[in-house]
């Protein structure tokens, strides 16, 4: 891969756009499955920024943080989907506006 | 030059697939677009010289995590009325405000990254270097990640077990 020079700020632009789309999805969707998917998109965008920064300086640290983000995402999804099953069983819906027993 | 073209193609695919994933009414359709988006991001990782991250992106994100989603969606068996309800919630008057807010955040982030210059290094960061960093200076972070995964395992087992018991 010689002579490869993708500008760093273009990769960061992609990462920023992905993060914004994920946040938009988080705000407009009421279905808890889509909320979890939006969280995945946002975590992935952050991971892209880390890996791009690591590649910019040629250091492995970016990929190390990527691994940590990956394990956070995996743990979050496992617990989140367990909660999805509980919400579906208790409220018979996945709409988060109906799950308002705490009157929040 | 070819790599740069490939990067722009992959980036476009990632963005379009993510937008489509966020706006689908059907959860499975959204999930498949999300997998496409993750694969495109994996291509970007390959192009910027992070093959280990790219492989993990495919194996763990597009493989394991997305399969978990598929599994839960199929277990819940949402059906057509769920789709119709979701479609009703995707009207412009609902998403206009949040879209404005995230556009503002995007503009701020854009302003902050606009001063950054320089290309990414053409030098590849190999899996060996990542492993040496992981078990050298970052060994404490690895242990914390291990504890986090254990907590996730216990938590999801607890939640899922009660779900299965009450169903019988």
- pLDDT above 50 (res B60): yes
Half-sphere exposure (Cβ direction) of A88: Cα atoms closer than 13 Å:
23
Which residues 14-43 of chain A have a CB within 8 Å of chain B?
A: 14, 16-25, 27-31, 33-34, 36-38, 40-41
- All residues at 6 or more sequence positions from B122 whose CB lies less than 8 Å from its CB, including other chains: A1, A2, A3, A4, A5, B49
Q: Which two tokens stand for residue B16?
A: 């379009």
| B134-156 pLDDT tens trace | 899 999 999 999 999 999 999 99
Mutate which of B120, B126, B143, B144 to test chain A, going by most A C-beta atoms within 10 A?
B120
Q: What is the pTM of this model?
A: 0.89
- The minimum CA-CA distance between B123 and chain A, rounded to whole Å, is 6
More confident of the two residues B42 and B117 = B42
pLDDT at A3: 47
Backbone angle region of B120, left / alpha / beta, with phi > 0 → left and psi within -120 to 50 → alpha? beta
Residue numbers of B between 62 and 101 with CB closer than 8 Å to A: 64-65, 68-69, 72-73, 75-76, 78, 82, 85-86, 89-90, 94-95, 98-99, 101
| Predicted confidence pLDDT, tens digits, chain A (104 residues) | 444 678 888 899 999 999 999 999 998 888 889 999 999 999 999 999 999 999 888 889 999 999 999 999 999 999 999 888 888 888 877 777 777 776 65
Average pLDDT over residues B129-138: 90
CB contact under 8 A, A16 and B156: no
Q: How many helices (H) and strands (E) does chain B have?
A: 8, 0
Closest residue to A81, CB basis, from B72, B95, B102: B72
In the predicted model, what is the mean pLDDT of residues B98-122? 85
Question: pLDDT (tens digit, 9 = 90+) per residue, B21-42?
Answer: 988 888 889 999 999 999 999 9
Q: Maximum CA pair distance of chain A? A: 59
Long-range Cβ pairs for the range B155-159 (8 Å, 24+)? B155/A78, B155/A79, B155/A82, B156/A78, B156/A79, B156/A81, B156/A82, B158/A82, B159/A79, B159/A82, B159/A83, B159/A85, B159/A86
The pLDDT value given to residue B84: 73
What ipTM describes this predicted complex?
0.89
CB A75 within 8 A of CB B148: yes
Taking a C-beta distance cutoff of 8 angstroms, is the pair A27, B98 a contact?
A: yes
């Amino acid at each position: 891969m010689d002579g490869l020079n993708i500008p760093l700020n273009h990769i960061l632009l992609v990462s920023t756009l992905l993060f914004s789309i994920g946040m938009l999805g988080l705000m407009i969707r009421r279905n808890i499955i889509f909320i979890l998917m939006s969280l995945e998109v946002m975590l992935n965008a952050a991971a892209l920024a880390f890996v791009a920064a690591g590649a910019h300086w040629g250091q492995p640290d970016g990929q190390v943080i990527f691994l940590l983000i990956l394990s956070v995402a995996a743990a979050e999804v496992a617990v989140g989907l367990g909660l999805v099953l509980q919400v579906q069983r208790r409220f018979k819906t996945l709409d988060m506006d109906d799950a308002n027993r705490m009157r929040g | 030059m070819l790599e740069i073209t490939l990067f722009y193609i992959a980036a476009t695919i990632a963005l379009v697939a993510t937008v489509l994933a966020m706006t689908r009414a059907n959860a499975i359709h959204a999930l498949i677009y999300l997998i496409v988006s993750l694969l495109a991001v994996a291509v970007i990782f390959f192009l910027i010289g992070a093959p280990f991250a790219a492989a993990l992106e495919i194996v763990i994100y597009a493989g394991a995590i997305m399969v978990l989603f598929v599994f839960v969606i199929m277990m819940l068996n949402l059906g057509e009325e769920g789709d119709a309800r979701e479609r009703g919630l995707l009207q412009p008057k609902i998403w206009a405000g949040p879209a404005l807010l995230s556009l503002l955040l995007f503009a701020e982030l854009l302003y902050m990254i606009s001063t950054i210059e320089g290309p990414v290094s053409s030098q590849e960061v190999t899996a060996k270097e990542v492993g040496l960093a992981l078990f050298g200076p970052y060994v404490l972070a690895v242990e914390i990640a291990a504890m986090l995964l254990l907590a996730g395992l216990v938590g999801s087992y607890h939640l899922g077990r009660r779900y299965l018991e009450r169903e019988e």
